[in-house]
Amino acid sequence: MLESIQSKDVLTSSVETRNYLRAKFRNCQREIFSCLFLDNQHHVMKLEELFQGTIDGAAVYPREVVKRCLYFNAAAVIFAHNHPSGIAEPSQADIAITHKLRAALLTIDVRVLDHLVIGDNCVVSFAERDLL
């Protein structure tokens, strides 16, 4: 299980965020989908593991993501999940669920800033690839 970070912990850059998440997911044997909940200044309020899966997938439920965003009163989110295979290339399922989550969160005015897929030595950003 991932440890959570609190609001006193600040990730000040995308590089720092990637390094932090890579370290958190390094030894995970199953896919874990997590969310960084951010305030309107993009300060981290909470990192929370939302769903655990198997070696090649995790079921992600938009309803539960919306509920957690409302619980934390998040203004924005960054999604992150690992690929236990070590290959960080996003799958079609990753892209589809990201679009579904983004659409659901738009209804409650929560911005999706990025979705990071973590592999062994690489982190792929949906934002950098224009996949959001």
pLDDT score recorded for residue 2: 43
pTM of the model: 0.88
pLDDT score recorded for residue 1: 40
pLDDT score recorded for residue 100: 97
For the chain, domains (ranges, CATH) are: 19-125 (3.40.140.10)
pLDDT score recorded for residue 11: 64
Per-residue CA distances from 94 to 33, 53, 72, 88, 110 (Å) = 11, 13, 24, 11, 19
The set of residues, in sequence order, having a beta carbon less than 8 Å from that of 98 and lying 6+ positions away, is 79, 112, 115, 126, 131, 132
Residue-by-residue pLDDT tens, the chain, 132 positions: 444 455 445 566 778 888 888 888 877 889 999 999 999 988 899 999 999 988 888 899 999 999 999 999 999 999 999 999 989 999 999 999 999 999 999 999 999 999 999 998 889 999 999 998
